[in-house]
Chain A
Amino acid sequence: MTIVNFTPVSALIGGALIGLAAAGLWWLLGRIAGVSNILGGIVRGGGEDSAWRWAFLGGLLAAGAGARLLAPELVHFQLDAGYAQVILAGALVGLGTQLGSGCTSGHGVCGVSRLSARSLIATAVFMATGIAAVFVTRHLLG
């Protein structure tokens, strides 16, 4: 196995910022920063939680749009998938995260930190099927 494109310093710093942001939401609002759960709450609609959920998503979007305008050196983007693949991927992500109650942020970061058995198992499972999906698309079909 050859190791390429490894960026350990920016990965650790960026990761620490993600952890700090999740801790901020926990300290201030007492909520877990799980992006798929926040999205699910918005799609379900209603409730007093709508405002903070929209605001959190707005912050994520502002980070991306702001970087594009003000700090283009932070924008790294390469997507090797066409529309059909992106639609299928999105539908699976939407369905799977709701059925499994979380994604990389809610299970992978927050749940693993809390040593939740459900999150530790979910994280192992989505890592394994993610690796399998990449193997099939890149090496068997690609």
Chain B
Amino acid sequence: MRTLAAFACGLLFGIGLLVSQMSNPAKVIGFLDLAGEWDPSLALVMAGAVGVFALLYRLALRRQTPLMDARFLVPEKTRVDARLVGGAAIFGIGWGLAGFCPGPAIVSSGFGDPRVWIFVAAVAAGILVFERGLRRPA
């Protein structure tokens, strides 16, 4: 049941990316390209997502546990450090280079363009490089 629930959430998340056209790299680039002709759409996608999630996130915390699991898991790190800022900076450069972040890339893997599959493989390779060389011992 948990697996089915996660699939349904992923499907809805993907539909949201399709409807908002965030699965189109040119649309993302259009937002990031302030010096050219500007497409503000991405800001409204964020506003819509944050508005809905912020409300429902807080409502859920009135409960002791989620509906299908033992506890709510929030990220434990609270410190702003060089890894956070450096990692976000590196991610942003990659995001701007192609117009892809991870979610939209997986959605548009279903569109059939082999460059998207190569992008996802490169993401996996980047993750492996982190795992092998940069992960801080727990």
A interface, CB within 8 angstroms of B: 1-8, 10-33, 35-36, 39-40, 43-44, 51-53, 55-68, 74-83, 85-114, 116-118, 121-123, 125-135, 137-139
Interface hits, B62-95 → A, CB 8 Å: 65-75, 77-80, 83-95
Closest residue of B by beta carbon distance from A58: B7
Inter-chain contact B50/A109, CB cutoff 8 Å: yes
With contact pairs A15-B47, A18-B48, A23-B52 given, residues A89 and B122 touching in the complex (Cβ less than 8 Å): yes
Give the residues in chain A near B127, CB-CB below 8 Å: 39-40, 43, 94-95, 97-98
- Chain A, Cβ-Cβ closest to B54: A113
A56 touches B6 (CB 8 A): yes
Give Cα distance in the complex from A30 to B44, angstroms.
26
B27/A79 in contact, CB under 8 A = no
Instruction: Please report the C-alpha to C-alpha distance between residue A128 and residue B88 in the assembled complex, in whole angstroms.
Output: 10
Residue of A nearest to B120 (CB): A90
Which residues of the other chain, A, contact B105 by a CB distance below 8 angstroms? 90, 93
Q: Is the beta-carbon distance between A95 and B129 smaller than 8 angstroms?
A: yes
Cβ–Cβ < 8 Å partners of B95 in chain A: 89, 93, 103-104, 126, 130, 133
Q: Would B9 and A21 count as touching, CB distance under 8 A? A: yes
Cβ 8 A contact of B97, one of A81, A128, A139: A81
7 A-B pairs with the lowest CB-CB distances in the bound complex, closest first: A94-B126, A59-B10, A100-B87, A14-B20, A15-B48, A63-B14, A90-B122
- Whether A74 touches B18, Cβ cut-off 8 Å, given contacts A30-B71, A51-B3, A63-B107, is yes
Residue tally, chain B, CB below 8 Å to A: 116
> How far is B22's CA from A88's CA once the two chains are assembled, in angstroms?
20
| A11 & B44 in contact (Cβ 8 Å cutoff) | yes
User: Is the Cβ of A19 less than 8 Å from the Cβ of B56?
Assistant: yes
A97 CB → nearest B CB, Å: 5
A101 touches B19 (CB 8 A): no
Q: Mark B111-128, 1 if CB is under 8 A from A, else 0.
A: 111011011111111111
Closest chain A residue to B86, Cβ basis: A99
The distance from the CB of A27 to the nearest CB of chain B, in whole angstroms, is 5
- Interchain CA distance A125-B88 in the complex, whole Å: 6
Given A11-B44, A64-B108, A98-B87: A133 and B97 interface contact (C-beta under 8 Å): yes
Q: If the complex has contacts A89-B119, A95-B90, A109-B53, are A64 and B24 also in contact, measured as CB distance less than 8 A? A: no
